[in-house]
Amino acid sequence: MSFSGKNDGLMADINVTPLVDVMLVLLIIFMVTAPMMVQGVDVSLPQTTAEPLQSEKEHLIITVNEENEVFLNDFRLTVDNLGEKLSKILEGRKDREVFFRADKRVPYGIVAQIMAEIQGAGVEKLGMVTEPLQSGEKKKDKGKKSDK
């Protein structure tokens, strides 16, 4: 066996061009699919003039959709199981607050029943989630007439 003086052996440099190509393709795939990964339950919230609350921590959110299905964050529950599950979750928490989202087409009786279950679980603060009024809509002043 003789080795020639030529340098025809293995190359010790790393070729990063294929790595960069693969990473750019993955980046484009994630950029396209990220907006499609919306989580949560779709509900049509009532509109009010209240200002949004600023919060840095994740809260418990109870949602009732148009079909009267109850969700605790993204997990589906029955109304009967809601109080039990909620009380177990709140056992280890200092802040016993919950946010409640109900579709505007849900009957008031169901909303009242769910609120009673929430109160029975030991919730100290209950926030109602709504949507802000659209910019063209104004709150109508009742009892005031303009003479213009």
Give pTM, 2 decimals.
0.54
Domain presence at residue 118: yes
Q: How many domains does the chain have?
A: 1
Query: Distance between CA 72 and CA 75 in Å, rounded?
Result: 5
More confident residue, 36 or 69: 69
What does the pLDDT look like over 6-41, one tens digit per residue? 666 677 777 888 889 999 999 999 888 887 766 655
148: confidence class by pLDDT, cuts 50, 70, 90:
very low
Query: Distance between CA 68 and CA 79 in Å, rounded?
Result: 10
| CATH number, residue 74 | 3.30.420.270
Nearest in space to 98 (alpha carbons), one of 129, 75, 70: 129
Domain presence at residue 26: no
Domain presence at residue 127: yes
Domain presence at residue 31: no
Query: Distance between CA 15 and CA 13 in Å, rounded?
Result: 6
Domain presence at residue 95: yes
Query: Distance between CA 80 and CA 9 in Å, rounded?
Result: 74
Residue range of the domain that includes 62:
47-132
If DSSP codes are grouped into helix, strand and coil, which group holds residue 135? coil
Domain presence at residue 29: no
Tokens of 115: 């609120």
Domain presence at residue 34: no
Tokens of 131: 């949507």
Domain presence at residue 142: no
